[in-house]
Amino acid sequence: MTHAYHAMYKDPKVTPDDRTHNGGGKDINIIVVGGPGVGKTAITVRYLTRRFIGDYDSGGEAMYTHTAVVDGKAVTLHILDTTWQEDSLDGRTDEILWADGMMLVYSITDSDSLDRLRTIADRVLSVRANDKLVLALVANKCDLLHRKHVSDTSAAQFCAEYNCIFFETSASDSFVDVESAFSSVSRHIKAVYKKREKLSKFLQNPAVTAKLQIRNSLRNFAEKKLRRRTSTM
């Protein structure tokens, strides 16, 4: 039996502006990506409802909104459950710019599913090269250990290459592990916001602005001098 899950569903269309105006970390945007059938909807619905339903409509993308408490403060999570294809990632730039974090999901029973994430991760990093985005690698279906086809070494290599935090989940067996993955990603995202806020406050400090101006003038002066010297040699 297929259950449609509609609660908290919103239009999945996003614009990058939705992120820039999100109130300094009170809203958190997370995208769940991965190959077909790895359990993207299962882990998302498990997190939102605590339930594992078993079969899900694979009808398309869905956006869910959920209030959670992160580090003692209420935050609104916007979770986009996707059906991205590796050959159409060019059309996903708005979503990639919208995201604060991404859960890259593979199934431990599907040997291709980890490698397939590389195309997505490469595209994401090319769009967000200069902008911190929290990436999490999620190994799902950990209850099916007897059918495990993806080694821990491959997962560790992936994490090192793409700078990911790592989670092992079983949407079918453990709400706790799924909850812990979403909470941890949210916490990391909040930490990024905090750092950004600190840096922007620091740069707005008049004493710092003055110091930076002096440093720039000195650098310009030194460069001019060097140029003059090399042109007379």
Ligand X SMILES: Nc1nc2c(ncn2[C@@H]2O[C@H](COP(=O)(O)OP(=O)(O)OP(=O)(O)O)[C@@H](O)[C@H]2O)c(=O)[nH]1
For ligand X, give the closer residue by CB, 58 or 217. Answer: 58
What burial letters (b/e) apply to 156-173, b meaning 16+ CB within 10 Å?
A: eebbeebebbebbbbbbe
Q: According to CB under 6 A, which one of 76, 111, 119, 172 is a site residue for ligand X?
A: 172
Find all residues with CB under 8 Å of 65, minimum gap 6, and list them.
Answer: 8, 10, 76, 77, 78, 79
For position 140 contacting ligand X by CB under 6 A, the verdict is yes
For position 94 contacting ligand X by CB under 6 A, the verdict is no
| Chain-centre distance for alpha carbon 100 | 5
For position 171 contacting ligand X by CB under 6 A, the verdict is yes
Binding residues for ligand X, rule CB under 6 A, total: 20
Q: According to CB under 6 A, which one of 5, 33, 48, 56 is a site residue for ligand X?
A: 56
Find all residues with CB under 8 Å of 162, minimum gap 6, and list them.
Answer: 104, 121, 125, 135, 137
For ligand X, give the closer residue by CB, 23 or 60. Answer: 60
**How many residues are present in the chain?**
233
For ligand X, give the closer residue by CB, 17 or 55. Answer: 55
Site residues, ligand X (CB under 6 A): 34, 36-42, 54-56, 58, 83, 140-141, 143-144, 170-172
